[in-house]
Amino acid sequence: MSVNHPTVAVLTLGCKVNQYESEAIAEAFQKEGFTVLHGEEVCDVYVINTCTVTAESDRKAGQLVRRAHGRNPEAVILVTGCFAQANPAAVAKIEGVDDVCGNTDKLSVVATARRLLKSRAKPTTPTVRVGDVMSAPFEPMKITHFERTRAYVKIEDGCENRCSYCAIPGARGRVRSKPLADVIREVEGLTASGCREVVLTGIETASWGRDLTGVGLADLLEAVDAIDGVGRIRLGSLDPSLMRQDFVDRIAKLRSLAPHFHISMQSGSSRVLAAMKRKYNRDQALAGIERLRSAFPDLELTTDFIVGFPGETDADFADTMDFARKADFLSMHVFAYSKRAGTVAATLPNQIPNAIKKERSAALIALGTELRRGRLERALQHPLREVLFETYENGLAIGHTDSFLEIAAPSPVPLHSELRQVTLSEVAGDRLLAEICEVKL
């Protein structure tokens, strides 16, 4: 190992915000002379960017640390992110960890890594550097390049919704927005470097601008839409309460906004939504979805559901199944409720047995498969589509339409980052097969 030219891997668990922050951390390491490698390689430094949405997320974080330590017992291992912020003592106990940094100063891991490498000896006790997320400002960070076709841009941090099941507000703190001018500069730079699709994301994306003066998410989207040459723009997970008529009317006029939205539902039962302390009921959410479908003819929706929330009855679960059918989602991420320490839901009576959670998860996942098949079959009615190709495997170029339909098309060569017209031909599993037209867009 050379202190002057060390290697680093940044390993990521969790949401799009974490993925963005890991990209920014990797760029910061590169600027300091580090060579960034993949996580399965032997490195001098490993940064583990953690999630704490579920108990499984915590378990996976420990697993990543142990794998890194086993790969190189002498490596510097730094743990950051939500698990590190929420439970630094537990993280510090994992064998191999040298430094625990929460969510207030993630870029500091670069200087910490350099300092620990110079010491040439792993510390006997990990350093814990976890700041107060409730008072911390928005941490300035940005990315200038990207490995994939699309790039994530973090526009907001923190959440003040205080849903009864969620530990994230305690790990991320209050709402802090990236200034509009900074978002525009970052998207302009990515566009100039060839990025064809940008995902604007946050811990609570819909809250962008709440801590600023006189601006909201629609204003930001209009400003991004005006960027010269900007490609597709997508949004991170959105609260259904955002889909008011005035908001939908404004975003429907944008040329760059993709007709695909991820709606964070969690349940289709109004009674359960109230117990979760969500800001909407099923009727309000369905009305918002109808507004979107009226405004975006090619709309596709994806969502998250939690099953087995404390007190969820068979009737409540039936409401969720019914809601999913009415909303007609393209895909659904289904999670079994997981107790998180310090949340209201963890202390509620009528906790649901694991066997029932598994049964309900399986039923909702099966419905999701059925709905996806139906959405793909209906897409064949309008076969001419534009696809942004991303990967290549077994002679197939694979990418997505603007509405997030996954497309696979035979091609003799990879078409990474190319936008092509295709003609849809048939449904194959959870995606569509297509033939590429001669026209290159």
Q: Work out the pLDDT band at 4, boundaries 50, 70, 90.
A: low
Q: 214 and 277 share a domain?
A: yes
Dist. CA 398–CA 314, nearest whole Å? 40
Same domain, 269 and 372: yes
CA distance 272 to 282: 10
Domain boundary among 349, 379, 409: 379
Say how many CA atoms lie within 13 Å of 293 toward its Cβ. 11
Q: Rounded CA gap, 290 and 88, in Å?
A: 44
**327 and 218, same structural domain?**
yes
* Statement to judge: residues 275 and 323 lie in one domain: yes
2, pLDDT greater than 80: no
Query: pTM of the full predicted structure?
Result: 0.93
Q: Identify the domain containing residue 235 by its residue range.
A: 150-379
Q: Between the CA of residue 213 and those of 155, 177, 209, what are the distances in Å?
A: 16, 11, 7
Q: Which of 379, 403, 426 is the last residue of a domain?
A: 379
Residue 238: other Cβ atoms inside 10 A: 17
Q: What CATH number is attached to the domain comprising 252?
A: 3.80.30.20
Token pair 């190189």 is found at 72
Domain membership of residue 143 (yes or no) is no
Same domain flag for 289 and 416: no
Q: 298 and 189, same structural domain?
A: yes
CATH number of the domain bearing residue 29: 3.40.50.2300
Check residue 252 and give its pLDDT. Answer: 98
Number of residues that this document lists for the chain: 441
Tell me the mean pLDDT in the region 196-217: 96
pLDDT digits (tens, 9 = 90+) for 295-334: 999 999 999 999 999 999 999 999 999 999 999 999 999 9
Q: What b/e string do you get for 323-332 counting C-beta neighbours within 10 Å, with b at 16 or more?
A: bbeebbbbbb
> Does some domain include residue 393?
yes
- Asked, for residue 268, whether it belongs to a domain, the answer is yes
Indicate if 189 and 218 belong to the same structural domain. Answer: yes
> Would 135 be classed as within a structural domain?
no
Residue 29: inside a domain: yes
CATH for 414: 2.40.50.140
For residues 55 and 120, membership in a common domain is answered with yes
- pLDDT bracket for residue 256 (50, 70, 90): very high
Considering the domain architecture, whether residues 95 and 239 belong to the same structural domain is answered as no
pLDDT band at 268 (very low <50, low <70, confident <90, very high): very high
Euclidean distance between CA atoms 64 and 362, whole angstroms: 28
Kindly state whether residue 137 falls inside one of the protein's structural domains. Answer: no
Last residue of a domain, one of 379, 398, 423: 379
Tell me, yes or no, whether 80 and 54 share the same domain. yes
Does a structural domain hold residue 122?
yes
The domain tally of the chain equals 3
In a domain, 365, yes or no: yes
Are residues 95 and 222 part of one domain?
no
| 95 & 187 share domain | no
